[in-house]
């Protein structure tokens, strides 16, 4: 029977917020569900740790580390983590949801890809891993199942649940460290992995995209692991004649058996990949590959527990344009027979122990995965498709449409499928029918009237109406109390989609004209300003000024401007003018004497006796060499007859 149909969590609202709608993937550590964030009306993926593991603090700590690690990787090609929490035995991560498929789905359907398509997928994957590597993390589980391709072609890396700090060494036998086909030799042999283990896995993934099959096959996982330890990854052109030598070299460099022979991290490999692309012609990039070795895709290590549904949501990546429009491919070639176990040399004792640990951790060969016997038909991916496209895909899968339910949604465009029952990835007995849930587009919200309401009350009312309180600015108002809303943008009564931001203009109260208090005694100035409803503070330090000591020398709000009731005006008190040395200007020309005194900080008055025609200074009111208050007036006198 299909265990996903009876999942007890489907239909439940977790943590009072996340409505679980469908189970879309299952792994050894957690199960992934498609869910709805009822608070934000957003479809997302909910990764819930298996309750048995949640009882162990070590696993919970690891699960929480995933949230913190990915939250640090703000990169458009990494599936983002929105939230992390727990309710009872359920510990969860809330992540982006991708409407599309995994690279594994593409390889199963298409087989080998054109070089351009392979590089268009590889480059954003390396960009995502490069961000992780430079942030100090290793993914450790790179494989096609963890490469998500949105319906619009955007590429994201998912499932950083196995990340470790770059300088952390762990044992292979202590945790699930990835599907065996993508493990680097050092992971198998001694359980260590750094950024170059991710580089190795990406090289294997590139080989698989170029050829349609894995580089090392085997009847058992142990055989595959042995070959990774003892055989180089072959050149892709050996399986697909005509592939450019540059791609052979790229795969060989990434999959060198010795870590020292590989690029140091994904950033370095990305540079090599872009260099290889630049050296290829359009004809080489767009060559349609024969489906060589496609039969190897059914080898032992391919049987995973992931229900073919993606998780995460596509995010705009301005640096990547994916080209996944591939022409139809001819039928796959027959699979080459896997080498018999008896032909393999016995590996060393240490390697045997490591292999046993990996096999135990992965649960391979234990019969834990459900394999459909043909009684069920899997619902194909239809989310984000138009209603007609969804009907066509269901028809191709041999399924009918039971009915159409139309609902409002701010996530899915009008006329596109936002859900189905059963959900994509679930299975229907025989040739059953599916109910499609089609978006009616965003529900229109009327902006409520909040004029005159206190700011917090207005924000609460906007939120209750399904809108988002936006930017707040202030303005004077003679009729709206201080702290209350004057107006909104959009205005009250206008129609908007849910979660639209509404800007608020809040009253500063009636305007208060600020008078000049410079020169007033401090107490008098304070009385005047407080009488207008303003607050008054006195600066800690006094300053020299032309004002007498104890009077106001300056005020923080200029005279003639407007303030709001309750605004603060700071007064600076004068400690009197400074005493400045007086220059001796006797015997000088009147104009020169004036300039000298003014430059010293004094005012100048010229006294000419009756019938005096002299321009020479004969006397000055303050003797030269003495001191006088800065800004005071000094009188100079010319000679008389």
Whether 453 and 461 have beta carbons less than 8 Å apart is answered as yes
Whether 296 and 142 have beta carbons less than 8 Å apart is answered as no
Which residues neighbour 144 within 8 Å (Cβ) at sequence distance 6 or greater? 102, 103, 104, 106, 107, 205, 208
Pairwise CA distance, residues 204 & 206, whole Å: 5
Instruction: Give the residue from 481, 385, 392 showing the smallest Cα distance to 439.
Output: 385
Look at the block and give the residue holding tokens 């104890």. Answer: 550
DSSP helix/strand/coil, 528? helix
Whether 189 and 350 have beta carbons less than 8 Å apart is answered as yes
Q: What single DSSP character describes residue 280? A: S
Examine the residue annotation and report whether 141 is marked as an active-site residue of this protein: yes
Phi, psi angles (nearest 5°) of residue 149: -120, 115
Pairwise CA distance, residues 485 & 455, whole Å: 6
The CA distances from residue 536 to 520, 555, 557, 564, in Å, are 14, 10, 11, 13
Whether 603 and 633 have beta carbons less than 8 Å apart is answered as yes
3-state secondary structure 349-370: HHHHHHHHHHHHHHCCCCCCCC
Pairwise CA distance, residues 252 & 23, whole Å: 39
Pairwise CA distance, residues 419 & 412, whole Å: 10
Pairwise CA distance, residues 216 & 296, whole Å: 9
Question: Which residues pair with residue 519 across a beta bridge?
Answer: none
Which residues neighbour 37 within 8 Å (Cβ) at sequence distance 6 or greater? 17, 18, 43, 44, 82, 94
Q: What single DSSP character describes residue 264? A: S
Helices (H), ranges, 335-494: 349-362, 387-396, 455-464
Which residues neighbour 368 within 8 Å (Cβ) at sequence distance 6 or greater? 305
DSSP helix/strand/coil, 549? coil
Which residues neighbour 306 within 8 Å (Cβ) at sequence distance 6 or greater? 25, 26, 27, 102, 104, 145
Buried b (16+ CB within 10 A) or exposed e, 299-314: bbbbebebbbbbbbbb
- Neighbour-count burial of 544, counting CB atoms closer than 10 A to its CB (0-12 exposed, 13-18 middle, 19+ buried): middle
Q: Which two tokens stand for residue 193?
A: 């992995």
Phi, psi angles (nearest 5°) of residue 484: -105, 165
Q: Can you give the length of the chain in residues? A: 641
Phi, psi angles (nearest 5°) of residue 117: -65, -40
Phi, psi angles (nearest 5°) of residue 304: -115, 170
Pairwise CA distance, residues 22 & 35, whole Å: 7
Pairwise CA distance, residues 200 & 317, whole Å: 25
Catalytic residue from among 105, 141, 248, 567: 141
Q: Which two tokens stand for residue 529?
A: 């300003």
DSSP helix/strand/coil, 495? strand
Positions marked catalytic? 141
């Amino acid at each position: 029977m299909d265990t996903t149909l009876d999942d007890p969590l489907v239909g439940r609202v977790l943590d009072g917020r996340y409505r679980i709608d469908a189970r879309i993937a299952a792994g050894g550590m957690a199960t992934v569900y498609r869910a709805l964030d009822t608070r934000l009306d957003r479809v997302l993926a909910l990764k819930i740790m298996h309750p048995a593991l949640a009882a162990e603090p070590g696993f919970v700590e690891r699960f929480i580390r995933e949230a913190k690690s990915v939250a640090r990787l703000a990169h458009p090609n990494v599936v983002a983590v929105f939230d992390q929490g727990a309710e009872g035995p359920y510990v969860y991560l809330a992540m982006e949801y991708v409407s599309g498929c995994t690279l594994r789905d593409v390889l199963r359907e298409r087989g080998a890809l054109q070089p351009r398509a392979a590089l268009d997928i590889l480059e954003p994957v390396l960009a995502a891993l490069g961000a992780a590597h430079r942030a100090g993390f290793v993914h450790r589980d790179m494989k096609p199942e963890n490469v998500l391709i949105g319906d619009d072609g955007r590429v994201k890396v998912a499932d950083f649940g196995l990340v470790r700090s770059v300088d952390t060494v762990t044992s292979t036998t202590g945790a699930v460290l990835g599907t065996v086909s993508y493990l680097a030799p050092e992971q198998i042999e001694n359980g260590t992995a750094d950024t170059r283990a991710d580089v190795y896995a990406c090289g294997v993934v590139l080989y698989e995209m170029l050829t349609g099959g894995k580089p090392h096959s085997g009847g058992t996982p142990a055989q595959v692991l042995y070959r990774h330890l003892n055989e180089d990854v072959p050149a892709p052109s050996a399986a697909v004649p005509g592939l450019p030598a540059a791609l052979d070299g790229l795969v060989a460099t990434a999959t060198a058996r010795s870590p020292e022979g590989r690029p140091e991290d994904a950033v370095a490999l990305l540079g090599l990949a872009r260099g290889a692309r630049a050296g290829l012609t359009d004809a080489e990039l767009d060559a349609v590959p024969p489906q060589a070795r496609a039969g190897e895709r059914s080898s032992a290590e391919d049987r995973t527990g992931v229900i073919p549904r993606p998780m995460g949501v596509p995010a705009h990546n301005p640096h990547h344009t994916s080209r996944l429009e591939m022409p139809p491919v001819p039928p796959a070639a027959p699979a080459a027979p896997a080498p018999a176990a008896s032909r393999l040399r016995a590996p060393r004792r240490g390697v045997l122990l490591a292999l046993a640990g990996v096999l135990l951790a992965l649960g391979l060969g234990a019969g834990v995965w459900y394999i459909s016997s043909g009684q069920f038909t899997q619902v194909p991916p239809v989310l984000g498709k138009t209603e007609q496209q969804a009907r066509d895909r269901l028809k191709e899968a041999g399924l009918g449409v039971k009915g159409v339910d139309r609902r409002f949604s701010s996530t899915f465009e009008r006329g596109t499928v936002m859900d189905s029952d059963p959900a994509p990835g679930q299975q229907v007995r025989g040739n059953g029918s599916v109910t499609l849930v089609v978006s009616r587009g965003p529900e229109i919200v009327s902006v409520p009237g909040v004029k005159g309401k206190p700011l917090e009350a207005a924000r609460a009312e906007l939120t209750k109406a399904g809108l988002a309180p936006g930017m707040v600015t202030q303005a004077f108002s003679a009729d709206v109390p201080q702290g209350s809303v004057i107006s909104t943008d959009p205005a009250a009564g206008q129609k908007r989609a849910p979660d639209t931001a509404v800007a608020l203009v809040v009253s500063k109260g009636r305007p208060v004209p600020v008078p000049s208090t410079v020169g007033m005694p401090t107490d008098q100035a304070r009385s005047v300003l407080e009488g207008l409803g303003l607050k008054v503070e006195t600066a800690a330090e006094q300053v020299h000024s032309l004002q007498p000591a104890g009077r106001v020398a300056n005020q923080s709000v200029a005279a003639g401007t407007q303030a709001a009731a309750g605004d603060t005006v700071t007064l600076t008190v004068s400690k009197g003018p400074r005493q400045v040395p007086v220059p001796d200007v006797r015997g000088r020309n009147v104009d020169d004497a004036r300039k000298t005194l003014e430059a010293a900080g004094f005012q100048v008055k010229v006294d000419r006796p009756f019938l005096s025609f002299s321009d020479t200074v004969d006397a000055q009111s303050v003797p030269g060499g003495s001191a006088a208050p800065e800004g005071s007036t000094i009188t100079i006198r010319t000679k008389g007859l």
